[in-house]
Amino acid sequence: MTRAEQTAAFRRIITETLDTILERTGDRPFLDTKFDVIDGRDYAGAAEPAFRSGRTVYAWIQGRGLEALAGHLHAGFGDAGRIRAVLRRVSSRLERIRAANGGRMFFMMSPDGVFLNGDGTPRREPLPGDANYSDLFCAKGLLHAARALQDAALEREALAYLERTVAAIGELRFVTDQQPFDPANPVAARPGKVQQGPFMIALSGIAAAAELTGDVKWLDRGCRFLRRVLTLHVDHSRGEPELFEAVRPDGTPYREDGRLISDPGHALEFAGLALKFLAVLEKAGRPGSAAALHADRLLLARLLRRHFTLGFRPGPGGIVKSFDLIGRCTVNADMPWWSLPETIRAAAEAEAAGCGDFSDITGACAGALWNRFTNVEQHCFAYQTRDASGRPVRVIPAVPDLDPGYHTNLSLIDVLKLWGEL
């Protein structure tokens, strides 16, 4: 695909998916992306299995969706009035649910805010830890919604929520709340396993808080999180940087059955979010060495190149879910959609930072996203997962609901901005 073709494809994906999200959501208090990209089946009805139907609300989707809708609004996509109305309704409902649950959120819940276990039963036990991914996604989403709505009270609440969540991450009081839907993708919390994911995802919220408030404490925290991942989660023994998912509380690598697991998509996502954070850091004029900043950017660009090489499969066109850095083999050959737009963003960020030409990576990932994953018959949403042969399959990468514009559209919007197309 040429740059012009990529730009046109990205715009079409953003526009059609956004219109569908707004149309499906209507005047309801939760975002609705509950349908099947393979055959168009609508899962929102009560007759569907509970975990797919409207009887289950996913906090990840709602928090991510708030951030995504605010990002679309800021970039000039969609009907501003409709977007603001949805932001108001969803953020208000989430705040009521959070207030009724001690200021916390959880992965699955009923529409009236009762937290649910993975089997759909009401959750009676207290939430473990002091923060989880739902807290992180909802804190970020509420902050972006507050900025879009110019709601000072919501902004204060969201900043305080994000600050508590970030503190819990930094002090290792964070416990994942993700519930498993795919046996090949073990996600349940394990004692002694500290993942890089919360630190990575927090970087985007930290950058937003820093830009909004001008308070340097956010940038300082972001620098600590970035340094932690680069120091503890990156192996250089093979000459090129390779990022692995987890460490033990003492900072040593967390091995599982003799394997050191890397998620190439997460590594590529980290490269993009870290490069974006460094751009915010530079714009803020934080004191520091220009040489050190450039060195970090070059390291992240090498990480991008390395994990594209490890994870991308040109035949079926996609990025595998997991790879063993010790055995040098694929562990889970399924290919989720989200790693492709995240990689495209990382490549654009690396080029904008002066780290070289990554058009080969952009071209490969854009071609796979548009030609292999995007179903133009289903409003340009992507198949959630394709298997090793390239066949679309109903494997749930994290949440049954479709992406509310978070991984795909926010990444592509950033790319269009960096390319000067917005």
Does the pLDDT of residue 289 top 80, yes or no? no
The per-residue pLDDT for range 192-244, each reduced to its tens digit, is 999 999 999 999 999 999 999 999 999 999 999 999 999 999 999 999 999 99
Alpha carbon separation from 402 to 210, 350, 378 (Å, rounded): 30, 28, 12
- For residue 116, list its beta bridge partners: 122
Which long-range contacts (C-beta less than 8 Å, at least 24 apart) are formed by 112-117?
Answer: 116/56, 117/179
- Kindly report the number of other CB atoms within 10 A of residue 152's CB atom: 9
Structure tokens at 31: 């975002």
- Rounded CA-CA distance 337/347 in Å is 17
- Rounded CA-CA distance 101/396 in Å is 27
DSSP 3-state of 184: coil
The per-residue pLDDT for range 39-50, each reduced to its tens digit, is 999 999 878 889
Q: For CATH 1.50.10.10, list the domain ranges present in the chain.
A: 190-366
* Residue 256 phi, psi dihedral angles, 5° rounding: -120, 115
What is the sign of the dihedral through the CA atoms of 99, 101, 104 and 109?
negative
The per-residue pLDDT for range 140-192, each reduced to its tens digit, is 999 999 999 999 999 999 999 999 999 999 999 999 999 988 888 778 889 99
The per-residue pLDDT for range 76-91, each reduced to its tens digit, is 999 999 999 999 999 9
Helices 152-170, 216-232: inter-axial angle, 10-degree rounding:
30
Does the pLDDT of residue 286 top 90, yes or no? no
Closest C-alpha to 189, from 175, 199, 200, 201: 175
Q: Hey, what CATH class is 190-366 in? A: mainly alpha
Enter the pTM of the model. 0.97
Q: In this predicted structure, what is the pLDDT of residue 287?
A: 62
What is the sign of the dihedral through the CA atoms of 310, 313, 314 and 317?
negative
Residues recorded for the chain = 422
Closest C-alpha to 32, from 115, 77, 89: 89
DSSP 3-state of 288: coil
- Rounded CA-CA distance 31/63 in Å is 10
The helix (H) or strand (E) run that includes residue 232 is helix 216-232
Structure tokens at 204: 């985007």
Contact 390, 315 (CB under 8 A): yes
Confidence tier at 288 by pLDDT (50, 70, 90)? confident
